[in-house]
Amino acid sequence: MIGFSKVSKRYPGGFEALKDVSFSIAAGELTFVTGHSGAGKSTLFKLIAAIERATSGTVLVNGQNVGALRPAAIPFLRRNLGLVFQDQKLLYDRSVFDNVMLPLAFSDFSGREAARRARAALDKVGLLARERAHPMQLSGGEQQRLAIARAVVNRPAVLIADEPTANLDAGSAERIIALFLSFNQVGVTVLIATHDEQLIARHAARTLRLAAGGLEHDSAEGGE
Amino acid sequence: MNAWLRQHGRAIASAAAKISAQRTTNAVSALVIGIALALPAGGYALLSNLTGLAQRTSLEPQLSLYMLPETKSSESEALGKRLRADPRLAAVRFVPRDEALAAMRGTEALAEVFAALERNPLPDAFVLRALDSAPGALDVLAGEYRVLPGVAQVQIDSDWARRLEAVLRIARTGIFMLGALLGIALVAVTFNTIRLQVLTQRQEIEVTKLLGATDGFIRRPFFYLGAAQGLAGGVAALGIVWLSIESLNQGVRALAATYGSAFQLTHLAGADGVAVAALAAFLGWLGAFLSVSIHLREI
Ligand SMILES: Nc1ncnc2c1ncn2[C@@H]1O[C@H](COP(=O)(O)OP(=O)(O)OP(=O)(O)O)[C@@H](O)[C@H]1O
Ligand SMILES: [Mg+2]
């Protein structure tokens, strides 16, 4: 489903954020990506979504070489991915409901079908009652859930969440992880970046540990 | 097909939302465009009117023949006979000096001037209509009549109209150049307003792109926005031209009446109006296209 092979990413300016990273994730797998701040977790996600391009190596998503995609093909790659951004990227000038409607605007659903799906996604994250609120009026955890609702509204096969539990108390974080587990149970491939070690410890899932841009440990390969 | 329609429907709805979110800015831009376009459109309307008038007049093969002031009426009558015998003339109308004076006194603007005169300063005159309207033929006639006894002056009435036509041809070129310049200004105005829109919606554009929006999806509403702005400007220009011609006509009708004419300015033809509006919409679209192509690349 997702494969990295000898991937390096050097940002303009010369900083090497990923160094020779290789791994492969099967469809339906749940994987944590962890590592210190600046280790390269967000960079790894950006390469999957073609927000950044690998300097060397190949990134495969669904059999497509992401680095070689034509610009016109990139939107269609992204539509198959549910993305939860580290900074959430909510639009604060429109309602909760309209934020979730955003990815449906360029789908082929009729207005009524799109609204139905948006409400289903909001219901799933427990925000249906707040659909008329504005993101500013939501708590941090509610904003995270809104970002998740927007990511899953198109029912993507892959869900990628960058620090979805940052700044949340343990209980709220656990509820959000439970939400991802429920998506994973219905067959969605889920990638979650977090540096919450306790959270990882509570779940028996595959973990990729990055350190200074290198893949330090892949729990699927065992050993240290 | 259905999906295509839906995409465009959404783009139009999105453009409408952008317009209503910045109502004042958009209204002001439309007005600026309207005023700019009203100049060439109004110039074109006036030009069409004058050209029509000049063409109608220049086709009239009319000569005015003025006698010397001291000519006796018997001499004038003799000349009249001679002219009526000329086979190249279709009509000969004698205007005795007394009749001319009476007509002048009947004219509102001139009545006072002529009332103050003790003597009639006007000569006997003939108004002649030639069979052949070619300028050459009229010149020949004028040349022959000029040397007849008692004749002071022969004037080809359509000469001024020919000169006017020539001037109008130059003016037409000027109007088209003005139109081209202001068309470029229109493109520049939409280019700029769309640039501001793109910048204010930078975040929204960024996020929709990250969520999988195609460039087409992002650009389409801006195209509609530019075209709508151009169209609104075009319609405003037509309104300004219409109002201007209406108000000019009050003066024109009064003036024409003193010449015994029912002349008045006509409005732009329907097809011309549609062309102005369509061209403005196209230029607005073009400005939006250029702006979006350049500024989306920066996001
Ligand atoms: N656009 C960029 N230009 C230059 N350097 C960048 C850019 N984005 C990230 N970096 C650098 O690359 C490194 C990895 O960044 P990245 O965002 O992937 O880290 P991270 O693991 O997500 O960290 P965090 O846990 O704090 O989110 C950092 O040192 C960062 O400074
Ligand atoms: Mg990060």
Mean pLDDT score, B145-171: 85
* Best residue of A46, A102, A112 to probe chain B, by most B CBs closer than 10 Å: A102
Picking from A72, A89, A110, the nearest residue to B210 by CB comes out as A89
Query: What band does B259 get if pLDDT is binned at 50, 70 and 90?
Result: low
Among chain A residues, the shortest Cα distance to B217 is held by A106
Q: Say what the ipTM of the complex is.
A: 0.91
Rg over alpha carbons for chain A, rounded to the nearest Å, is: 17
- Residue B209 with chain A: CB contacts under 8 Å: 75
Q: Domain residues for A22?
A: 1-74+193-224
**How much is the pLDDT for A223?**
45
**How much is the pLDDT for B5?**
82
In angstroms, the CA A4 to CA B102 distance is 106
**How much is the pLDDT for B101?**
81
H or E stretch covering B291: helix B270-295
CATH architecture assigned to B63-157: 2-Layer Sandwich (3.30)
**How much is the pLDDT for B108?**
67
Q: Assign residue A94 a region: left if phi > 0, alpha if psi is -120 to 50, beta otherwise?
A: beta
Beta bridge partners of A31: A191, A206
**How much is the pLDDT for A159?**
96
Segments of chain A with pLDDT less than 70: 222-224
Is A127 part of a structural domain of the chain? Answer: no
Query: What band does B169 get if pLDDT is binned at 50, 70 and 90?
Result: confident
Question: pTM of the entire structure?
Answer: 0.77
Q: Is the CB of A13 under 6 A from ligand 1?
A: yes
Picking from B3, B211, B215, the nearest residue to A108 by CB comes out as B3
- Whether B106 shows a pLDDT value over 50: the answer reads yes
Q: Looking at mean pLDDT, say which of B93-107, B227-241, B246-260 comes out highest.
A: B227-241
* d(CA A114, nearest CA chain B) in Å: 12
Is A215 part of a structural domain of the chain? Answer: yes
Quick check: A75 and B212 CB within 8 A?
A: yes
**How much is the pLDDT for B209?**
93
Q: How many CB atoms lie within 10 A of CB B267?
A: 16
**How much is the pLDDT for A192?**
95
Where residue A66 sits, what CATH number does that domain have?
Answer: 3.40.50.300
- Number of domains chain A is built from: 1
Where are chain B's structural domains? Answer: 11-57+162-298, 63-157
- Whether B192 shows a pLDDT value over 50: the answer reads yes
- A79: Cβ–Cβ under 8 A, 6 or more apart, which residues? A103, A106, A107, A154, A156, B211, B212
DSSP B47-63: HHHHHHHHHHHHT--EE
In angstroms, the CA B285 to CA B33 distance is 13
In angstroms, the CA B181 to CA A169 distance is 64
Is A48 part of a structural domain of the chain? Answer: yes
Alpha carbon distance, N-terminus to C-terminus of chain A:
25
Mean pLDDT score, B243-254: 88
- Whether B198 shows a pLDDT value over 60: the answer reads yes
| Mean of pLDDT over chain B | 86
**How much is the pLDDT for B260?**
67
User: What is the tens place of the pLDDT at every residue in B45-63?
Assistant: 988 888 887 777 777 788 8
Higher pLDDT, A2 or B102: A2
- Whether B38 shows a pLDDT value over 60: the answer reads yes
Among chain A residues, the shortest Cα distance to B204 is held by A91
**How much is the pLDDT for A224?**
44
**How much is the pLDDT for A215?**
94
Quick one: which ligand is closest to A18's CA?
A: 1
**How much is the pLDDT for A145?**
93
- Whether B10 shows a pLDDT value over 50: the answer reads yes
Picking from B203, B209, B217, the nearest residue to A91 by CB comes out as B203
DSSP B236-269: HHHHHHHHHHHHHHHHHHHHHHHTT----PPPPP
Amino acid, single-letter form, for residue B188? A
- A147: Cβ–Cβ under 8 A, 6 or more apart, which residues? A84, A85, A88, A89, A90, A164
